Amino acid sequence: MRSLATMIALFAASPALAASGPFFSLGNTNFVILIAFLIFIAILVYYKVPGLLTGLLDKRAAGIQSELDEARRLRDEAQSVLASYERKQKDVAAQAERIVAHAKDEAATAAELAKEDLKKSIARRIAAAEDQIASAQAAAIKDVRDQAVTVAVAAARDVIAKNMTATDANKLIDSAISEVEAKLH
């Protein structure tokens, strides 16, 4: 394993050993590579490749800037839409609160009206009950009077029947007939 590492190191170091001798000679690979690199840079400058690259980079930067501007515009638009929706949400919440308050007021008014109607209904029922009681009381008094009259008539008949003679009865009948004749004519 150690010998493998040594061999790899020898092969890797061999191109570095190729640069021997004076620097400014075509035998020096470093000098040749330097000249090739400078020629390559000169060709790139001659064909305006740095300008093309700069133009492409500027174009890319302009595209990115326009995308950033579009993103800012969209963000601003989204913020304005969000603010609009938040205002609408507040308006809707306020309207909902007004509706609830109005409904509570209407419910309270309806409850008051129901109480008044209930009071009137109770007063009517009490009056009707009092009328029924008075009517029942009057009917009871009439029944008692009728019964008293019936009992009094029966008692008077019994008393008159026991105390009256036939001649007294005839006299009463005659006087009743004459009284009826006087009232009829």
Task: Look up residue 65 and give its two tokens.
Answer: 């800037």
- How far apart CA 80 and CA 66 sit, in angstroms, is 21
- How far apart CA 79 and CA 72 sit, in angstroms, is 10
> Residue 143: is its pLDDT beyond 50?
yes
The amino acid sitting at 90 is K
- How far apart CA 145 and CA 160 sit, in angstroms, is 21
**Pick the residue with more confidence: 127 or 180?**
127
The closest of 9, 10, 31 to 20, measured between CA atoms, is: 31
Do 20 and 28 meet the contact criterion of CB atoms below 8 Å apart? yes
> How far from 153 is each of 117, 145, 159, CA to CA, in Å?
53, 12, 10
**Pick the residue with more confidence: 115 or 168?**
115
Report the first-to-last Cα separation within the chain, whole angstroms. Answer: 171
- How far apart CA 39 and CA 47 sit, in angstroms, is 12
Is the pTM higher than 0.85? The answer reads: no
Average pLDDT for 64-77? 97
> Quick one: pLDDT band at residue 2, thresholds 50, 70, 90?
low
Above pLDDT 70, what percent of the chain?
88
Average pLDDT, the chain: 86
